[in-house]
Amino acid sequence: MAGAFEPLMKSPMMQLSYAINILFMLWSANIWVFGLKHARNLTTKNALITVAIPVAVYVLWTIYQMGVM
């Protein structure tokens, strides 16, 4: 089943879609950092660490799906 989708996943439009997806995730992460900072009275550093972990996992997973890794 995975082999049937291989050409579709390697198409330039899908690659562009993944790249745009990563950009929007990074933008959302920026919003999350300041949301956590103010909602939980965290320092910017601690909020950044808290947000960076799930965002990094998501970005790595997306890159893996792209077939780059």
Kindly list the domain boundaries of the chain, sorted by start residue: 12-66
pLDDT on residue 12? 85
Query: What's this model's pTM, rounded to 2 decimal places?
Result: 0.77
**Mind listing the pLDDT tens digit for each residue in 4-42?**
667 666 778 888 998 999 999 999 999 999 999 999 999
pLDDT on residue 11? 79
Task: Provide the residue type at 43 as one letter.
Answer: T
Output DSSP code: residue 19. H
Indicate the pLDDT class of residue 2, thresholds 50, 70 and 90: low
Output DSSP code: residue 41. T
**Gap between the terminal Cα atoms of the chain:** 20
